[in-house]
Amino acid sequence: MSDTDNTPGPPSELSFTVSGRVARPRAEVYEAVADPAKLSKYFTTGGAVGRIDTGLIVQWDFADFPGAFPVTVVAAEAPSRIEIRWAGEATASGSDSPDGPNGAGYTTVVFEFEPFDDDTRTLVKITERSWQATEAGARAAFGNCEGWTGMLAALKAWVEHGINLREGFYR
């Protein structure tokens, strides 16, 4: 092996991206995430408080997961992008974060909304990052990956057909 070997080592942090297409214009799909009343119809089963706007801290509550979560809105660029931070387990972020309870670390989530077919459909990409490259970090990342995949399916069903997939699914 030489000094110029560019073989990558283990990752310093874990992340994932999930995506799906929704048969609605980009602005409508963006609003289904940014508007707390709409988000509460299909995702935050315990309710959402506060509109997704840059610099705000909103609350997301899930009836199937105890307690409301404070969510820091890092950026909201309608209708194309939302970036949030929230507390996470086994994170690679600094434990001195003001976003997590008792100084817990946090993860960063980026939603990207891309128009397709003359803006009759929208590709939604959700990327979450900042877990430790450890067994505990992998468990936490896989759990959130499952959650965001379910969110995309629920978003599509609700926006396209008015069906709430989460109702009764987790409890």
Say if 135 falls within a structural domain. Answer: yes
Residue 48 near residue 59 (C-beta atoms within 8 A):
yes
**What's the confidence (pLDDT) of residue 97?**
44
C-alpha–C-alpha distance, residues 20 and 8, integer Å: 30
157 SS3 class: helix
pLDDT, tens digit (0-9, with 9 covering 90-100), for 122-133: 999 999 999 999
Say if 6 falls within a structural domain. Answer: no
C-alpha–C-alpha distance, residues 148 and 169, integer Å: 15
pLDDT tens for each residue of the chain, 171 residues long: 455 566 677 778 999 999 999 999 999 999 999 999 999 999 998 899 999 999 999 999 988 777 899 999 999 999 999 999 999 888 987 644 444 444 469 999 999 999 999 999 999 999 999 999 999 999 999 999 999 999 999 999 999 999 999 888 777
Say if 3 falls within a structural domain. Answer: no
Say if 9 falls within a structural domain. Answer: no
Say if 84 falls within a structural domain. Answer: yes
CATH number for 92: 3.30.530.20
Say if 171 falls within a structural domain. Answer: no
| Domain tally, the chain | 1
151 SS3 class: helix
Q: What residues make up the domain containing 123?
A: 17-161
C-alpha–C-alpha distance, residues 57 and 69, integer Å: 10
**What's the confidence (pLDDT) of residue 98?**
47
Say if 8 falls within a structural domain. Answer: no
**What's the confidence (pLDDT) of residue 108?**
97
Say if 7 falls within a structural domain. Answer: no
Residue 138 near residue 126 (C-beta atoms within 8 A):
no
The pTM assigned to this predicted structure is 0.88
**What's the confidence (pLDDT) of residue 169?**
79
Residue of 124, 83, 126 lying closest to 106 (CA atoms): 83
* Burial readout 72-107 (b: 16 or more C-beta within 10 A, e: otherwise): bbeebeebeebbbbbbbbbbbbeeebebbeeebbbb
Give the DSSP letter of residue 171.
-
